[in-house]
Structure 1
């Protein structure tokens, strides 16, 4: 989990509190407002599209927040509604305890994500979030309307045990800091707050052990940056073994965190992945 930009952890530019509307639409999750808003505690909808035909559930990197996906949501076609997950213990849920293990977190996500797969749904995860998306895909019931899985910047699940641990000053070296953020991190309390979220997610990932199970039938698109220090394209290609459906890998000119700052190549790669899933399901993407 390299190259973590602090601006996407605790200082999200896209979360203007004056525009937030807290809503809860029940199991269907149908949002009526076109303004950015929350749906219960779990989701941030940066560009709500109630008429969309595809619901894209997004899970951020270690320590990351839902506004990681704000620019992506703005750049995707109007047929796509982005639902970005807000994890316990950070952002608007800062006072909540972080889960003790990955299974607990996945179980919590399962109870809120799967009932909302009421329209054609795609799971997208970046880095640590790719592991969450994969585990949710494994647990989706037979009747779930899941069109595909997009994994970004993470080695295949059975290779994660080889990860080397990182904490404290090692993590600071991986942060992409602006001058303002560097000044903020000189405060020890702020520094501890920022690192605690990153370290909590890394502990969950580093304790993960993949259990053997039949491969998914869901198609997978794997996206990786050609300058990613954490995973190579060859390693990313190992995701092919985890589906009996179609597999496609996309290499983009970027580092570890591909989905950020509205990079055109990220929006293009995700759009094409969604089109691949739509064509497979007999529905032309636009």
Structure 2
């Protein structure tokens, strides 16, 4: 059984261990993101929910490790790490690239006999909705311009040349993973999906967000918030409320 330290192996961050919680929430970051992005979620939901945040290779304390630039491979690795955390029901929350990754992890878990209580897909079009995006092929200036456009990384970090050099390899790798991902047709998930999006997100149209409904045989709902790609920075409390309500409902009916 996994221990109660904040860092559990190299992949999992458990900032506020909640060993008595009836459910776990697995959080998967956006392209260029890292596990601490979900520290506030963990702090708010604990001890009612045991929150696990995934730390991808190639950033922060894992920056010496090779990045994984294939979403399928990354899903395989994350699924492997989660096998030791399935002693209680889990839900998955992913933002942007993390939403597609969460979907692929859910697929793998269901194939192995574990149906999550739900999938929260934030700031990402449905897997079956493809766009021809090639930002990962741009030079460093082009990559930075996209980061600034989305406002997903602290502007102080983007103004620090040394910090930028440290994060760009991971950012480019994540962009490559997200942009080269191709949906493989298959049966819909058995778990409910909640799609969350900003009404001014350049990466997600309302049709692309609603299309998540095609990927579940269970319940689907769409939540729309004012804002762009990182709408959840402004609406964190509301998003956490949606997560809490969904978990409470699933636990009550389970």
Q: Same fold (TM over 0.5)?
A: yes
| Contact 2:16 2:46 (8 Å CA) reproduced | no
Of residues 40, 47, 50, the one that matches 1:71 is: 40
**1:231 matched residue in structure 2:** 204
Classify 1:226/1:61 alpha carbon distance in 2 versus 1 (closer, same or farther; 3 Å).
same
**1:146 matched residue in structure 2:** 116
| Contact 2:68 2:174 (8 Å CA) reproduced | no
State the 1:197 CA deviation.
Answer: 1.1
Q: Which moved more, 1:252-261 or 1:205-214?
A: 252-261
More helix, by proportion: 2
Structure-2 separation of matches of 1:172 and 1:54: 38
Aligned residues: 246
**2:54 matched residue in structure 1:** 85
State the 1:222 CA deviation.
Answer: 0.7
Q: Secondary structure at the match of 2:160?
A: helix
Q: Pairwise CA RMSD of aligned residues? A: 2.1
Structure-2 separation of matches of 1:276 and 1:237: 22
Q: What aligned pairs does 1:271-286 form with structure 2 within 5 A after superposition?
A: 271-279=244-252, 282-283=253-254
**1:12 matched residue in structure 2:** none
Q: Secondary structure at the match of 2:31?
A: coil
When normalised by structure 1's length, the TM-score is 0.79
Q: Which moved more, 1:233-242 or 1:191-200?
A: 191-200
Classify 1:256/1:179 alpha carbon distance in 2 versus 1 (closer, same or farther; 3 Å).
closer
Classify 1:69/1:56 alpha carbon distance in 2 versus 1 (closer, same or farther; 3 Å).
same
Q: What aligned pairs does 1:1-286 form with structure 2 within 5 A after superposition?
A: 28-31=1-4, 37-76=6-45, 78-140=47-109, 141=111, 143-144=113-114, 146-160=116-130, 162-166=131-135, 167=138, 168-173=140-145, 174-175=147-148, 176=151, 180-185=156-161, 187=162, 190-260=163-233, 263-279=236-252, 282-283=253-254
State the 1:125 CA deviation.
Answer: 0.6
Q: Per-residue displacement from partner, 1:83-121 (whole Å, max 9, x unpaired)?
A: 000001111111011124222212111111133111010
Structure-1 separation of matches of 2:116 and 2:154: 38
| Contact 2:225 2:235 (8 Å CA) reproduced | no
Unaligned regions of 5+ residues in structure 1, if any? 1-27
